[in-house]
Amino acid sequence: MKQSELNGTNLTLQDLVTIARAKPTDAKVTICPKAWERMQRSRQVVLDIVKKGKPVYGINTGFGALASKQIADKDLGQLQYNLIRSHCTGVGAPFSREVTRAIMLSRANCLIQGFSGVTPETIKLLLDMINHGINPVIPEKGSVGASGDLAPLSHVALALIGEGDVEYQGKVVRSDFAFHQVGLTAAILGPKDGLALINGTSVMLALGAIAVIDSDRIMKQADIISCLTLDAVRGTPSAFDMRISQLKPQIGQVDVSANLLKIIAGSEIIHSHPEDGKVQDPYSLRCIPQVHGACRQTLRHAREVLECELNSVTDNPLVFPETGEVVSGGNFHGEALALCMDYLAMGVSEIGNIAERRVEKMMNPHFSDLPAFLTKNSGLNSGLMIAHVTMAALASENKGLCHPASIDSIPTSTDKEDHVSMGVTAGRKLLEVIKNVQHCLAIELLCNTQGVEFLRPLKTSPALERVITLVRKHVAPIEDDRVFHKDIEWLYRLVQNGEIIAEAEQVTGPLN
């Protein structure tokens, strides 16, 4: 079992996603004692403010446009319950299990830093839910990405107080029922607890974290799979010469060129055809370092922004125990995340765009010298004609999904919240782009492994032969038409889980 002790500043994107994807029996999350003490100190500040009776936003006032209304002490608990219930307005399909767990963990990591004044036991319960596999049902639509991801996080908070629906042991049940099964007790909300649970960027952060980890796999696999296509169409790796990239030393381009040379090294196919036969390869082959490299730089930026956000405090108002102050600000605003996720969506989409062009080259016998649509008996067999059409559909869909959500804003709360980020929309679209590109790479892999079959007994590089061997465990060479959907889904799973990278790196060593 992987055990993680959180202190609010030590969580990585990889840790977050690993725990989110783990079974409850494989991961346990706890709070370090110093973080617990910090939460207690900030909680005491909140309780002291209540005793003094001075109106302080978020503690004894209304919320948003109702901030000027002071609430009587006897109603402060009810205020928090009313907040959670009224803000549970999410619609649409629920987030996946892994996204839900990432949301819970990222919110807990924010609050345990001790600047929110939240009751410590409430955050322990949130982690207990992760540890026991009790996952709130969170509708994916309803956040505009500022003033916190209010609607989706309210569904998490509703589960904490025993009133929300959760997925537990494969069934959707009330959270109080699930708590009873494992010996937990629903949270009792006091001053500021409800607001602290919902006022932050934890939903868009969870989406972005998963996207970064999956995009990193996409970038490496795109390098591997493109090399296999290069060999299938008898292309040349001369354009990957490091001297070329050193004259345009964009860091992504340099990393990709180094990868490609490692991956293709030792190919018999390269040396079986004259390099000057086609003079120059098309851009989709010749410019792989420049295009893949630029896409990697969108990932580099997104990783930097999201890693910073993961260990940041995104609540409002913030409690400073050293001075006893409670200060309102705007750390709940998701502009930085929305912008970087829109940027990353464009970068990932371009991986699919250039891959689709490479597949077209394999389909076209006038370019590749391979049989039309990679089938021996074309006419009777359609081969991979429509696999390419599917890929074209996915690449085209991504162009619409890449319209940036972050350039939109719509005022809410009687214009008090007059500029918002649309960060959750950006994150949801980004994950859809990633799934589409994973399928695009799966289709390219189906095509180029078939293309290499027509060049046998020549072998490609040792690294790529390992990849082909992995593919052949699941997908047989194509002799006649069959249901290719099943082949694509097998290869999609290989792209998702990163096995292709592991196989290639057995020969190349760690790739950039």
Query: 3-class secondary structure for 399-424?
Result: HHHCCCHHHCCCCECCCCECCCCCHH
| Residue 142: partners with Cβ closer than 8 Å, 6 or more residues away | 89, 90, 91, 92, 150, 151, 152
Burial code (b: 16+ CB inside 10 Å, e: under 16) for 321-338 equals beeeebeeeebbbbbbbb
- Three-state DSSP class for 174? strand
Residue among 222, 2, 219, 30 nearest 112 (CA): 30
Per the annotation, the verdict on 57 as an active-site residue is: yes
Residue among 278, 273, 214 nearest 13 (CA): 214
State the Cα–Cα distance between residues 321 and 325, nearest whole angstrom: 7
Q: What are phi and psi of 233, to 5 degrees?
A: -100, 10
State the Cα–Cα distance between residues 397 and 429, nearest whole angstrom: 11
Which helix (H) or strand (E) is 86 found in, with range?
helix 76-87
State the Cα–Cα distance between residues 357 and 463, nearest whole angstrom: 23
Contact 441, 461 (CB under 8 A): no
State the Cα–Cα distance between residues 433 and 222, nearest whole angstrom: 15
Positions marked active-site: 57
